[in-house]
A and B are shown apart, each in its own frame.
Chain A
Amino acid sequence: MRIGDYKETYAADEAIFRTPAVRVWMGALGATMLVFPFVAGDYLLYLANLIGVMIIGALGLNILTGFTGQISLGHAVFVGVGSYAAAIGATRLGLPFYLCIPLGGAAACVAGTVIGVPSLRVKGLYLAIATLSAQVILEWVFSNWDSVTGGIRGINVPPATLSGVSLNTDFRVYFLIYAVTAAFTYFARNLFRTRVGRAFIAIRDRDISAELMGINLFRYKILSFMVSSFYAGVAGAVWVYFAKVVTPEYFPLSLSIQFLAIVIVGGLGSIQGTILGAIFMTLVPELLKAGTEAVKPFFPDAMSYLFPLRDILFGALIVGFLIFEPHGLAEMWQRVKRYFALWPFRS
């Protein structure tokens, strides 16, 4: 039970992990995540890796949409740019993965900067359409610039190697993915304790007053696009080492929308929410699937109805969440925590 929240120094006030309880829990989480790959099977490991990649990508979108208030419908193609850059770096240039991952981030960052330029003039839905055009154009480039992207058949990528050890199984890739995920989560969490991060939030809350406070809107909006697409690019690069193949069909508009769904369901403007959202959006369809599989022996004929029903159920679940908890999973998590903070003395 936690009683007070009393701080004696500024350092304590600004700490990321403010209370001993949080530190203990974070330590427990870290330990669990280290032990997890040793006990989990192939299937769970694969899902965990998928979630890790989605977290990095979705963090990027949350920085842009949740914290800076700039909606983007083209996040998937920035992931794609990162994937292609890393794949080309790994195959044609023969670079090691620790260079390919930043390369992927940098390439996506450049693309994001270009796409971000109109954000000064267009806002809201108009920006959504502008970024949508990026989605369409880059998707076309992926499938038609054959000499660079390998066209519709894409590029096959060899597994990453670290001092002679090939990261060719999900077990080994897990450590790569979660090392990157942890680093980028930490960076994102810290970003909003800096001038830049606070400027982003000011722009989101009211851009005119942010400008009156001396925030250079153009600079910070572009910066937000850069950071966001850098995250996307890194997610894409890590993903390449996980999937070992990259084709244009991996980055459709529906992936952009899935990223948006993750940050909305998880909680706009919340790092924790992004993580919860990525877990939710990846695991719940699988759980629903497991549910329908479980009833398969009893209703073999009903399967053709039950399978599509799963998608409807998933949709309904998301809508339900948004109606009853518009701040997303992050807020639900906070409520649960508040409840247990004084438990069992107050309910």
Chain B
Amino acid sequence: MRRRKWIVAATGITAALALAAAGALAADDVIKIGACQPITGRFAFAGVSINAGLQDYINYANENGLVKGKKLVYIYEDTGYDTDKAVATFKKIMAKDNPVIMYGDSTGLGKAIAPELNSRYKVLYGSTSFSSELADPKIHPYSFVSGPTYSDQFGILLEYIAKNHKGKGNPKVAFFYSDTEFGKDPIPYARKRAKELGIDVVSEIVTKVGAVDVTTEALALKKTQPDFCIFQGYVLAPIPQVIRTVRDYGLKTTFMGTFWSMDKSIIDKLGADAEGYMGVSPYAYYNEDAPGIQSMRKYNEKANPKEKSRPNSYIQGWFTGMVYVEAINKVLAAKKPVTGDNLKDAIGMIRDWDTGGVTGKVTFVNNKAAVGRVYRANVVKGIFEPVSDWIYVK
């Protein structure tokens, strides 16, 4: 009897040790990436694709062995695009899986989690946000923006305008933005930058998101006759209404947008009114032929044969995955442990990185890669076509 107990105990201890060893081994070979994704709620239209893009790239990296000797594991949960729930989800994933990289669903989460991210969690943090506020390494040392901030996007458009404006006098520009954080984010910088480039900001119009009656705003545009009007802080409404009304007044204004109003779907919604619609995109589109985009398409033909096209938010997710993998590889190349601190330093060391044409050459300064390209809508083909090369701003 005594003997049997002893054997049981010995077996138990051996099993426990073996399990612990296996666990340690597994933990060494696995790099966990957690994500709080806005799969439901107001932002779901993009959240679903962002999640798909990020997840697909991680699978793609695993299949192609892009991270030598390690397996990436992707853990995601829905937040409903609610800051409180997103914070809860963040903490839940950190407590359960303890990943070294996290992905967040909003600017709000980035701000709310910042104190604890800096003092406690210390993980690399990417997000859906292009907010200029996150591009401050002093307050947000662990965060990065997957591309240019909204300010940079305005900078790119304004530079394009200054260079390509034909006609007498300074180009006249109107800013048309929503009364939200998303809408107001780049405006102070844009005012300053316009002045430096010799562009006259002739009017600034602020509305609610999704405003339906835009007659007064269109009249204001008619009065000031801008050559260009840049939208910020909208996804769709009221952009079509504004363009239609202004066209009815016979204005020749060129309308422009930033990332969220630059998806292919806006051309479908605008129809013939999309003619001449322009804007800045941080990434190439799914229909382009850059090698990075081709391998993205090839992956999708195999893994998701039902998806014939992918929105720009999918590419945003995919690109964020690329940044994660690049940072991990930089840390591994330096023979350092994969920790949030090392990853965050690695982001800052990314210089002139070739992404295979998914975007321009990527250099991270102040937590962001300030590169983008100006595109114009081709109504007949229903796609955006580049009208400039990659533009780099500071």
Contact = CB atoms under 8 A, between A and B. Distances in A.
Interface of A: 41-43, 46-47, 50, 143, 151-154, 156, 159, 168-170, 243-245, 247, 249-250, 285-286, 289, 292-293, 303-304, 307-308, 310-311
A245 B94 contact: no
B115 A249 contact: no
A143 B180 CA distance: 8
Interface stretch (B19-27, B58-66, B84-92): B84-92
A131 to B, nearest CB: 20
Contacts of A303: 39
Interface SS majority for chain B: helix
B83 A304 contact: no
Nearest to A250: B83
A338 B185 CA distance: 57
Nearest to A157: B115
Contact of A293 (B77, B87, B94, B112): B77
A50 B84 CA distance: 8
B91 A307 contact: no
17 contacts: A42-B95, A43-B88, A43-B92, A46-B91, A143-B179, A151-B184, A152-B181, A152-B184, A169-B120, A244-B112, A249-B181, A286-B85, A289-B78, A293-B77, A304-B48, A307-B78, A308-B44
B59 to A, nearest CB: 12
A310 B179 contact: no
A235 to B, nearest CB: 13
B112 A245 contact: yes
B39 A307 contact: yes
B292 interface: no
Given A46-B87, A286-B88, A247 B115 contact: no
Contacts of B112: 243-245
Nearest to B139: A156
Given A169-B120, A249-B108, A46 B39 contact: no
A159 B120 CA distance: 14
A153 B83 CA distance: 14
A168 B119 contact: yes
Contacts of B116: 169
B40 interface: yes
> Which of B80, B84, B87, B116 has the largest count of A CB atoms less than 10 A from its CB?
B84
Nearest to A309: B40
Interface residues of B, number: 32
Interface in B263-309: none
A153 B108 contact: no
B133 interface: yes
Contacts of A285: 80, 85
A303 B114 CA distance: 30
Q: Which 3 A-B pairs have the closest CB atoms?
A: A43-B92, A152-B181, A42-B91
Contacts of B92: 42-43
Contacts of A307: 39-40, 78
> Which of B92, B94, B95, B185 has the largest count of A CB atoms less than 10 A from its CB?
B92
A152 B78 contact: no
A303 B37 CA distance: 13
Interface string B192-205: 00000000000000
B115 A152 contact: no
A303 B190 CA distance: 40
A152 to B, nearest CB: 4
A107 to B, nearest CB: 22
A101 B179 CA distance: 30
Nearest to B84: A50
A43 B78 contact: no
Contacts of B115: 156, 159, 168, 244
A43 B95 contact: yes
A254 B376 CA distance: 38
Interface in B66-100: 77-78, 80, 83-85, 87-88, 91-92, 94-96
B299 to A, nearest CB: 17
A87 to B, nearest CB: 13
B165 interface: no
B264 to A, nearest CB: 20
Nearest to A286: B88
A47 B85 CA distance: 9
Nearest to B120: A169
B351 interface: no
B336 interface: no
Contact of B91 (A43, A289, A304): A43
B247 interface: no
A41 B95 CA distance: 7
Contacts of A156: 111, 114-115, 139
